[in-house]
Amino acid sequence: MRYGAVGLLAISVIVFITGMPLAAHHALAAKFDPGKTVTLNGTVVEIDWTNPHVHVLLDVKGANVTTNWAIELESPIDLQRSGWSRDTLKPGDVVTVQGISARDGSKQAWANSVVVASSNKRVFALAGAHRNQVTIVMNWDGKNISGIINPGPDVIPMKVVTLDSTKWTVHIEADAKDSSGNPVHFVVDGKLDNILSYKRTLAGTWNHGNVKGDFKVTRD
């Protein structure tokens, strides 16, 4: 397989699925580091309910100082589909947020989980055990492709990444455990179309155990 073809395919795959839910169009891995997990306990100051992603502003009290964090969630329409409204969180609510922090060291995080302290209710969850989606981060170092599934506290390293530049397909496998400690085998298969177009697409299927889904992503 020629290096040029491998490089083009790898770059295309990274454009489509680096660090984002497979149904989304906005990459988060360029902004957030899946290796920098963070847990924050803070008070909601403001909710910015706008596209492309909702942001929750938190005051987080430390020993001597209070810092303001911007917590990034999914888009307004995705949150509404999962049962959210503008009143799900309100200024003054105390919450615990688990997620991954910004690569540049700023006080920003992509949330994997949000729990309201007063009710102990999880109002937002991105971990694989709580949703019918998978988040993938892939890296290309010029020679090899590696990656992880579900960045955050439930991160799963990829064990197999296969690229076929003759068919423009990608195959990924990884092993993990479910909430009961039982082994789960993740499999993701996708195919690139319109490879020479700026708005090329990646579509395919994924499964872990008996849970299955499909996806299609178009570059904006």
Mean pLDDT of the chain: 76
Distance of CA 213 to the CA centre of its chain: 16
Between residues 172 and 71, the one the model is more confident about: 71
Structure confidence by residue, pLDDT tens digits, 26-76: 356 668 877 788 999 999 999 999 887 899 999 999 888 999 999 999 888
The residue ranges of every structural domain in the chain are 3-23+133-218, 32-129
Cα separation, 85 vs 75, in Å, equals 12
| CA dist., res. 53 & res. 79, Å (int) | 9
At 3, the amino acid letter reads: Y
Instruction: Give percent above pLDDT 70 in the chain.
Output: 70
Name the least confident of 27-36, 78-87, 114-123, 132-141. Answer: 132-141
Residue 11 phi, psi dihedral angles, 5° rounding: -65, -40
32-129: CATH topology is OB fold (Dihydrolipoamide Acetyltransferase, E2P) (2.40.50)
* pLDDT tens digits along 179-213: 567 788 888 898 888 777 766 777 888 887 777 77
Sign of CA dihedral 141, 143, 148, 149: positive
Owner of token pair 């010029």: 142
Distance from C-alpha of 207 to C-alpha of 190, rounded to nearest angstrom = 12
Q: What's the rounded mean pLDDT across residues 78-98?
A: 89
Query: Does position 91 have pLDDT exceeding 50, yes or no?
Result: yes
Rounded to whole angstroms, the Cα distance separating 22 from 19 reads 9
Top-ranked range on mean pLDDT: pick from 16-30, 101-115, 171-185: 101-115
